[in-house]
Amino acid sequence: MIEDISLEDKNKPVLFNWVPGVILTPRKIFQKISSTSYSTWLTPIIILTCIALVNALVAGRLKTQAAQIGAINYPPDFQYYTPEQQAQYLQAMQSTQGPVFMYVLPTILSVLGVWLGWLIMGGLLHLVTTLFGGRGNTMGSMNIIAWASIPLAVRGIIQLIYMLTSKQLISYPGLSGFSPVGEENWILFVNQIFKLIDIYIIWQTLLIILGVRFSTGLSTSKSFVSVALTVLIIVLIQAGLSYFGYVLGNLSITRPFFF
């Protein structure tokens, strides 16, 4: 049972007792989150950061083991590369098998993905809801985005269990297995979008709508539209960055943990 907020709670740096409520009783917990006038975002951000770090380290270990036995994790559309592109990819793989590329950079990118993703999406949500007439504040939006990202922590745990049990990396994240096949630029961009869409993103979006509804005074329809617009912009930005990284370097970019 979730305890009511007291004056003592305000002095707590973390509120781990809220985590089960996000999953089991989201309406009740987001009413509490929306009624607070102080920051409560630290707990979910700590959780997301820790899971992202562990996932990056485990993925780095699997990549190192694969490199030691000569196995190469080819991209899904590797067969459509030209011979020159395939040779460039293989050369790039050989030059990125050191600890810096296997562990250091992925962990840094994972942590940055958590923190920058939260900051950007929280600020964007506040801007969009304000344009729709919402009465919320920036701190409220940051709290909502952080707590609504608990489903992404669940996704990270499931991915971690999969990697530990199967000893394999996740080759087709999200809906990438259903993405169209081809070398056209628009297809490559769509593929990046498909990689970002899964049930956990939908779950997160529904929780954000719930939080916005309680904290801004917007109607259900306006809350839905404002959150959908925010999530769409974030997905397009992230897909665009992944696409440009793919085109410029032909190297896989670590997916930011929580978007």
Residue 148 banded pLDDT, cuts 50, 70, 90: very high
**What six digits make up the tokens of 139?**
């701190």
Instruction: Tell me the one-letter amino acid at 5.
Output: I
In a domain, 145, yes or no: yes
Q: What angle do CA 126, 141, 7 make, to 5 degrees?
A: 145
Number of H helices, E strands in the chain: 11, 0
Res 10 pLDDT > 60: no
The C-alpha atoms of residue 25 and residue 19 are separated, in whole angstroms, by: 10
Question: Is residue 124 a part of any domain in this protein?
Answer: yes
The closest of 52, 56, 32 to 44, measured between CA atoms, is: 52
Average pLDDT in the 46-56 region? 95
- Could you tell me if residue 192 is inside a domain? yes
Nearest to 58 by CA among 110, 103, 111, 105: 103
Whether 65 maps to a domain, the answer reads: yes
How many domains is the chain partitioned into structurally? 1
Q: What is the pLDDT of residue 184?
A: 72
Per-residue pLDDT at 4:
45
Mean pLDDT of 108-126: 94
What distance in Å separates the CA atoms of residue 126 and residue 120, rounded to the nearest whole number?
10
User: What's the pLDDT at 153?
Assistant: 96
How sure is the predictor about 72, in pLDDT bands with cuts at 50, 70 and 90?
low
Q: Residue 151 falls within a domain, yes or no?
A: yes
- Cα 213 to Cα 87, 123, 188, 234, distances in angstroms: 52, 17, 36, 20
Q: Is the pLDDT of residue 182 over 90?
A: no
| CA–CA separation, 19 and 40 (whole Å) | 12
Q: Is 1 a domain residue?
A: no
pLDDT score, position 84? 77
**Could you tell me if 175 and 194 are in contact, meaning their C-beta atoms sit under 8 angstroms apart?**
yes
Mean pLDDT of 211-233: 95
Model confidence at 18: pLDDT above 80: yes
For residue 26, being part of any structural domain is answered with no
Identify the domain containing residue 96 by its residue range. Answer: 40-249
Give the pLDDT of residue 51.
96
Asked if the structure places residue 136 within a domain, the reply is yes
For the entire predicted model, the pTM comes to 0.80
The per-residue pLDDT for 192 is 83
